[in-house]
Structure 1
């Protein structure tokens, strides 16, 4: 897209235009699940890159999108509210930080919606120590942020889990794969934790050559900035004959199934603590969660869990798996409340109408931010 949106109707005669700022294609799935049934608004999405799966999701939502930050800036005046889904205070997300500052300056209300079961990235002033966690207010409790308001899944004012569904999946046969869902790209893990976890995975794959594993690393674990897990990923890719029972998913190649799609094809899971656990709960699949000192206080809040801290514990759990082995219970799996989300956005639209800067001030601000974006 180039230039300006073709918005001819006066603001009061059209549906509110909601801007959406995503850090990348990884956030598309949770965004789509959140707004899929919301028909009260139009959406204009900015993300720095696009792939076929994201494009298909936007087409399904009939949402306009752009990868051109200048286009998004030039059309900021058309926006009534902006949604973000976990923008990290990191140089890789500099464009989103810039756009958030712009929205605050021109009076467009910014709502930041939870994107992961545990997260700290929804705030922009994090010192890498705050966890955004509360056992009483819902996981990912709001903390310091540039956003005007943070919206969580659980808690008294939560909107529920956007991907919530209660499907009765056919139980895979006993020879179905085990899904390994990992995300060690989190500041609370120390290097020793990562090395220990990698050792467990490598030994697991080699100890059970007749068991099929599907491993879906977090997108950040494919990055050279996270070398510990990447070493094992690269070893599997370079010498697949040494790991004939392991199939990698992700990394921009081959099978690009979502986590929930993979859970449906597997009989059980192995995971680090994170959003994967709530998906295993939702789809009623047993899951063993990696335990270490860094996450013990978080795991302790689950209502029911199976944990492992070494290979022996994991092998015992796998050997004892039965068809009726229960799934984890996080205490955070709440049905999605679309009405609550619409209410939050509608209230924000009203706030924007009273905060919006005058047209005389607007253009110089937009031009200034466009120059900054081009630097």
Structure 2
């Protein structure tokens, strides 16, 4: 099965806004953790659509759910609810700290909802002066104007005029900085339990404990952005489950639809009541098609078998990368959790993560980067072990080429 050869990479430059610079490879078909391009070349997928394709490509349970729902109902609007949405919300609340769910279509939208909620909660309970949101340097929370401003990378938020105010960025994992900044004007602290785009940086347990303690002391809410870490990626359903603390609000997207756009914001009854009728909404949020797929995703992912399998695959990936590194000495450390893994380039290869990505594609491996110094791997949670082995062999050949120059 080959692609339409008139639809080339050059066509992208003709018809698409130039905010992306995609690779020359145009995939046309995927199955499991393998993908084929227009010319029939096969790739092993260690990228997973940036931690989205949690069950690989064309997983039978997801294809089945989509086909079945596709012949029933696609869209109703939120003037009415629907069965798949009620079922998915029931699963999410039963499996987490949360009592209430708001559905959206993307991580940015879930985070936008969370940020509006924490501001409204503070306004209703404490008054207008309690509006400060504390976030962290190198964070990534989406591309809407509010979320990109809360994200800690000025390059993404500068150049669009005046930004939303009362947002303070602190160094990640710096308890002293947080203690110095937080006050009774703080309405929320927002963070990723593992910073994804920022370089696969784990939150220290002591830091998370301080976030919770200081938030409680100052009547602020804790928001966990689990867009990338959620839905089994770390070996628990959500990454907060590895920790001693529980957030007040959690956002989830990416893997929740296994490739179909869906997101959710989870919170408690007491906090949720501040988004009363008319305060927020989404045309497509909670549509039956997306929720049917989300239900199928959770039925597969939220099982002992899948979650234990993530931990086993993590060890294989870590061992394989360590063996490659013993030979070629390119990484200073391998960090992350579950199947969200970052290889941090050492002094000799600073700024060259893209070189490893390009070399990998040439060897038939799809991988990612997380900034200029980190090679990122986010494969399917159920990637066959044979594909891990073969993918690592391809990566080793790519590393050898970069090292050889």
The TM-score bracket by the shorter chain reads 0.3 to 0.5
Q: What is the TM-score with the length of structure 1 in the denominator?
A: 0.36
**Which structure shows the bigger proportion of residues in strand conformation?**
2
Q: What is the TM-score with the length of structure 2 in the denominator?
A: 0.33
